Amino acid sequence: MKNATVTGPTFDGFVSIEMKGKQLSLRFTWASLAKLQDELGDDFVSLSSRALDETSIKDLALLAAAGSGLTADEVYEMGLPIVATRDAVTRAWQHAFFGGVLEAEKREGAVKKITKRLVTFWRSLLKRG
């Protein structure tokens, strides 16, 4: 059985889950977040934290629906893996709130590690010569 593939976020914030020809694309716009906040009221923050922590499948489906334009029932019917769905929702959620900042920080950290390794490598070569 093929695992679900989660990709993104793209530059414009879309995150996709694909499995067995089914695809769910998510993006949280200000409008979708405001609508969700209006619908949930004070429960908005607690719902998002429960859903992103995988403690509530119902809440995860509500967030996936809000980010995709589907209903929660349509998200259920897709039958996508819960962990992959949570990963996609989390990525789209983070992009909505922080933009590409998190990914840029990861890339910057990776570049620093590679640079440090290259410097160490070159120093070791120079010592041999």
pLDDT digits (tens, 9 = 90+) for 3-61: 778 887 777 788 888 888 888 999 989 898 888 888 888 777 777 777 677 667 888 88
pLDDT per residue as tens digits for the range 93-119 = 888 877 765 555 565 666 566 666 666
What confidence score (pLDDT) does residue 1 get? 43
Chain mean position to CA 36: 18
Whether the predicted model's global pTM rises above the 0.75 cut? no
Q: Tokens 């059985």 appear where?
A: 1
What confidence score (pLDDT) does residue 95 get? 83
Burial of 102 (0-12, 13-18, 19+ CB in 10 A): middle
